[in-house]
Structures are given as structure tokens and as C-alpha cells.
Amino acid sequence: MPSAAIFDLDGTLLDTLDDLADSANEALGSFGYAVHPVEAYRTFVGDGMAVLMERILPAEARGAEDVARLLTNYKAAYDRRWKSKTRLYPGIFELIATLNERGIPLAILSNKPQAYTEVVMGHFFPDHRFDLIFGQRETVRRKPHPDGALEIADHWKLDPAEIIFIGDTSTDMDTATAAGMIPVGVLWGFRQEEELRKHGARFLVRTPGEILSIFE
């Protein structure tokens, strides 16, 4: 039976796809680049903002300067849009409240930059308790490197094998595996069941409430 849980953020707790896509398309349009359908961003996002910029730019415009310019405009757009369409997935509020009531330690590990992660969490989860909220930090390798996950385990003084890692992408499943944690894939997020299975999901859940059964 696990003792604690680490959650991914985008695509796991929050449906952020529209705001991410709208911001990225605004940035692309500002330079005259073609934009992408919102659904395409399901596979573009998940590995940090810089990687997102590389993926959405035309192949001939993926140099460091091009990425940096687009990233600047993307951040400006996302600063205005981050809560325009973003919503908690159904059942998430109740799940986190129940885990808090049971005294189960919770943490966030996201590839969204740290400052954005803190702002988003403060807005959407003001009354829920998370021991640690980690986004992408310059001093820590981003997921799927296990560094951030192991830092959380060390903070809790828990064996990684006692911790479930909950996410919606191969990046999350790979992170959990690399850290020696229990990979839990959610089927309401940005990616498909096949991807989660292929990357080692030990549990697959269709609703947030099913996560509670892993602790029982």
C-alpha cells in the first residue's frame, strides 16, 4: 500500500490545453508562422516550454534564437491567458480533499516553470494541502529525469517504492519508473492509454476516484 502521492499538473489535475494552445498560437501568429489545431497540442506539451516552442516552430526555424524569441512572446500571451479556459478535471477537487482528510502526503512535480506552477496552484487549489510544489527549476533536471521526484521522496523520508506518481504522459511514467516509484496513468489527460501502458503504467485510472482505491 502506498504512503504518498506525487501529481503531475497539466493534463492530470488541470485541463490547461486550450490556454496553452491559444497562447502558443498567438505567439506563432505574432511572427507570421502557421498555427496548429488545439488537439495537436496534446502531443506538443509535457516537456517544458522551450521544448514546446521547438515542436511548434517550422523545422527550418528551430534555432536557439528563434526558440528564444517565440518563447518570449509565448510567455507574454500565457501571462494573460493562463486561467481563461483552464479548469479542474471533474472529481479532482474531491479527490485532493479526501487525500488531505486521510493525511496522505501530496506533492506536485510539473515541467511547467516554477513561477507559473506556483501561481496556478495558488489559484486553483487555495484550500488544499501539498507539502511541496515543484515546477521546472533551473537547478534541477526536468522530467523524465527522476531528480525532482527523488528530492520529494527524500523530503518525506520515504522509500520511493512507497510513492505513487500520477500523470498523463509517457514523461510522467518514465519519471516514476526512473525514480523507482509506482507509475499511475490517468486516462482523462492529454495522451492515450497505449502510450501510458508502453511506458510502464502499473495502474490506469479512468476517474479521479479510482486513485483512492490504490490506497485501500
**8 is annotated as an active-site residue:** yes
Q: How confident is the model at residue 76 (pLDDT cuts 50, 70, 90)?
A: very high
For CATH 1.10.150, the residue range(s) in the chain are: 17-81
What gap in Å lies between CA 164 and CA 104, rounded to an integer? 11
For CATH 3.40.50.1000, the residue range(s) in the chain are: 4-15+86-214
Give the domain 17-81 fold: DNA polymerase; domain 1 (1.10.150)
CATH classification (class only), 4-15+86-214: alpha beta
pLDDT (tens digit per residue) in 139-157: 999 999 999 999 999 999 9
What gap in Å lies between CA 213 and CA 216, rounded to an integer? 5
What gap in Å lies between CA 212 and CA 1, rounded to an integer? 11
Work out whether the CA dihedral 47, 111, 40, 42 comes out positive or negative: positive
What gap in Å lies between CA 211 and CA 177, rounded to an integer? 18
> Cα angle at 112 between 20 and 96, to 5 degrees?
95
Range 56-83 average pLDDT? 97
Q: Is the pLDDT of residue 176 over 90?
A: yes
What gap in Å lies between CA 135 and CA 3, rounded to an integer? 22
The residue annotated as part of the active site, out of 8, 147, 168, 174, is 8
Look-up: residue for cell 501529481?
7
Other CB atoms within 10 A of residue 198 CB: 11
Q: What is the pTM of this model?
A: 0.96
pLDDT (tens digit per residue) in 103-132: 999 999 999 999 999 999 999 999 999 999
Per DSSP, helices labelled H in the chain are 17-30, 41-44, 49-56, 64-81, 92-101, 114-124, 147-156, 170-179, 193-198, 209-214
Look-up: residue for cell 479548469?
87
Q: How confident is the model at residue 216 (pLDDT cuts 50, 70, 90)?
A: confident
Q: Is the pLDDT of residue 193 over 90?
A: yes
Q: Is the pLDDT of residue 189 over 90?
A: yes
Q: Is the pLDDT of residue 1 over 90?
A: no
Q: Is the pLDDT of residue 188 over 90?
A: yes
